[in-house]
């Protein structure tokens, strides 16, 4: 087995949220290099054009808006081999957006997973990547 196939993503359908920057961008790029068919999710339309690698699909959703997540769940591929949830927003210094942070960074993950679990392939995986960088 060569290094490229070590993780077995060749030809797999993979969904990555937060794919415009940071850890989400790094994950999406690496998964594409490993041969995965990567579907990226960005919060705002137009960000995908800044990606420097090809993707299988470009999707948009604000993880704090239930209607966006419902539409996203419907738009995702029928079968997903792996999902990497890397999106998140930062907490403001005065914590004035604490509820919004929880809505996007926690409840958004939970709700999307509940909606998409039937699409996760047998032996598929769900990965949540986060940092404490947004806490100041």
- 66-75 and 108-116 helices, crossing angle to 10°: 30
Reported as a pLDDT band with limits 50, 70 and 90, residue 46 is low
Q: How far is CA 62 from CA 20, 72, 129, 131, in A?
A: 13, 9, 17, 19
Which residue(s) pair with 59 in the sheet?
A: 41
Tally of CB atoms within 10 A around 104: 19
Phi/psi of residue 132, nearest 5 degrees = -100, 10
pLDDT at 7: 72
Overall fold of domain 6-130: Rossmann fold (3.40.50)
Q: What is the average pLDDT value for the chain, to the nearest integer? A: 89
Is the pTM of the predicted complex or chain greater than 0.85?
A: yes
Q: Looking at mean pLDDT, say which of 25-34, 38-47, 50-59, 95-104 comes out highest.
A: 25-34
Nearest to 63 by CA among 103, 114, 118: 103
pLDDT at 84 over 60: yes
pLDDT for 93: 86
């Amino acid at each position: 087995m060569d290094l490229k196939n070590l993780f077995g993503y060749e030809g797999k359908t993979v969904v990555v949220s937060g794919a415009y920057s940071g850890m989400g961008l790094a994950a999406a790029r690496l998964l594409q290099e490993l041969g995965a068919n990567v579907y990226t999710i960005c919060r705002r339309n137009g960000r995908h054009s800044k990606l420097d690698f090809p993707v299988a699909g470009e999707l948009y959703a604000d993880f704090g808006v239930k209607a966006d997540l419902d539409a996203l769940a419907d738009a995702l591929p029928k079968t997903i081999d792996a999902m990497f949830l890397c999106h998140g927003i930062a907490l403001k210094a005065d914590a004035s957006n604490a509820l919004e942070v929880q809505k996007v960074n926690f409840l958004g993950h939970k709700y999307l997973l509940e909606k998409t679990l039937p699409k996760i392939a047998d032996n598929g995986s769900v990965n949540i990547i986060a940092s404490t960088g947004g806490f100041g």
